[in-house]
Amino acid sequence: MTNPRFSSAFIALFLLSLTLSPLRAAVPSGSSTNPALPPNTEVFTVRTSSPENHDVPFYVKRPSSYDPANPATRGKVYRILLICPVYNGDGLNVITQHSLMPVADTNGWFVVSPTFKQDNSETRNRNKSYYYPEEFSGKAVLDALDLIAKKYPVDTNHLLLKGLSGGGQFVHRFALWAPDRVTALAVNSCSWFDDPTAGAAKFPWLVTIGESDPAYEATPEFVAKLKGVGALPIFKSYMGMLHEGDYRVSSLDAAFLTFYDKLTAKDLGKPLMLADKQRKNMVMTVAQMPFVGDSQEWKYQPNTPESVDQIAEDSRIFLPSEEIAKLWGGE
């Protein structure tokens, strides 16, 4: 027979242990407490108003060069690359598998990737879908960035953004929603877009699509609208490519994001308002672009008044470096 005094004591101890145990969702957990995470990786959890996204994990990968004990890097401010996964994708898969991870590590970027969820029937519902940052997902990103910045010397005001398919749905809208936070973004195989506002001209865009993608037409239409508000987007379509990723797209993404990271490195760590006042220095003008391309023939040449006149206005693509021009013009 069970001793009633022993049972009462056991229950009391059990209840006391629950009272003293911390709530795990209230603090970020890192690789030291979660052995399933890869090296240099941790997760920060953000609570939102969305029933499907009550607690959103943001996976963070530190660059291998990050060493707070190294005097040589003391005072260094690090860039953040935010990669939104494909529709309902796992941020941890981005951290472990994405083609840009070696590039980020070489460049010394922190990579941040969330795991958002939604029902497929809600993807165009602005009140419920994470594709639309104004409802809950944009604030979740900003809250996560604030948490990360409390622990690491990162710049949350000069972001690089990247998204494929559903990830492109989110990052292009986040950029339109918070344009002063964005340095450059790459949007790949996005099936539909929000119309750009004047803020879209504050930063460079790379927009790619497969020519066999069922939603192809939406991309050149969006690029034309970007040009209409004063932006200078790089548009590239790929023959035979469906709604998918591709090594050619990955190479162009890497070159594009790396170029603008280096071009704007001097702005890292500056307050947002000061950076915004100097924003004219963050996007190259037409005159500063060394090459101009023709999106009808995918050929490029040095940017001169004569060469520009040879290309129809709606086909002109201004290219900021020779490396990017070669990747853009190649198949």
- Overall average pLDDT of the 89-107 stretch: 98
From residue 30, how far is each of 24, 34, 101, 203, 281 by CA, in Å? 11, 6, 19, 33, 37
**Phi and psi torsions of 212, nearest 5°:** -100, 10
**142 and 255 housed in the same domain:** yes
- Write the CATH number for 155: 3.40.50.1820
Check whether residue 160 and residue 297 sit in a common domain: no
Residues 143 and 208 occupy one common structural domain: yes
Structural domain contains residue 254 = yes
**Domain match, 81 and 224 both:** yes
**Domain around 313:** 284-331
298 and 188 within one domain: no
Q: How far apart are CA 236 and CA 216, in angstroms?
A: 11
Q: Alpha-carbon Rg of the chain, whole angstroms?
A: 23
Beta-carbon contacts of 176 under 8 Å, excluding residues fewer than 6 positions away, are 194, 196, 197, 199, 200
Higher pLDDT, 245 or 102: 102
Q: How many CA atoms lie within 13 A of 77 on its CB side?
A: 17
CB 83 within 8 A of CB 94: yes
What is the H or E stretch that residue 238 is in?
strand 234-238
- Does residue 25 have a pLDDT over 70? no
Whether the CB-CB separation of 49 and 150 falls below 8 Å is answered with no
Residue 135 per-residue DSSP state = I
Q: Are residues 211 and 307 in the same domain?
A: no
Q: How confident is the model at residue 277 (pLDDT cuts 50, 70, 90)?
A: low
Please say whether the beta carbons of 191 and 169 come within 8 A.
Answer: yes
Q: Does 311 lie in the same domain as 224?
A: no
The dihedrals phi and psi of 239, each to the nearest 5 degrees, come to -65, 135
Q: What is the pLDDT of residue 283?
A: 80
pLDDT of residue 272: 76
Of the listed ranges 133-142, 225-234, 263-272, the least confidently predicted one is 263-272
Over residues 151-186, the pLDDT tens digits come to: 999 999 999 999 999 999 999 999 999 999 999 999
200: burial class by Cβ within 10 Å (0-12, 13-18, 19+)?
buried
pLDDT digits (tens, 9 = 90+) for 207-262: 999 999 999 999 999 999 999 999 999 999 999 999 999 999 999 999 999 999 99
Average pLDDT over residues 44-67: 97
End-to-end CA, the chain: 80
**What pLDDT is attached to residue 330?**
81
300 within some domain: yes
Percent of the chain at pLDDT > 90 equals 83
Average pLDDT over residues 132-140: 97
Please report the pLDDT score of residue 4 as a whole number. 41
Residue type, 284: M
Percent of the chain with pLDDT over 70: 86
Query: Is the pLDDT score of 31 beyond 90?
Result: no
- Lowest mean per-residue pLDDT among 60-74, 260-274, 301-315: 260-274
Average pLDDT over residues 269-287: 71
Q: Which residues contact 82 (CB under 8 A, 6 or more apart)?
A: 111, 112, 113, 141, 159, 160, 161, 162, 171
Q: Which helix (H) or strand (E) holds 305?
A: helix 305-309
**Residue 273, number of CB atoms within 10 A of its CB:** 10
CA dihedral 122, 124, 129, 133 (to 10 degrees): 180
Of residues 180, 156, 182, 157, the one with CA closest to residue 171: 182
197 and 241: one domain?
yes
- State the pLDDT confidence band at 18, using cuts at 50, 70 and 90: very low
**Domain total in the chain:** 2
Same domain, 189 and 328: no
Q: Is residue 185 part of a domain?
A: yes
Is residue 9 a part of any domain in this protein? no
Euclidean distance between CA atoms 179 and 198, whole angstroms? 9
Number of helices (H) and strands (E), helices first, in the chain? Answer: 10, 12
Distance from C-alpha of 3 to C-alpha of 5, rounded to nearest angstrom: 6
Residue 181 lies in a domain: yes
pLDDT at 10 over 50: no
pLDDT of residue 271: 83
Q: What confidence score (pLDDT) does residue 134 get?
A: 97
Partners of 55 in beta bridges: 47
Cα–Cα dist 146/156, whole Å:
8
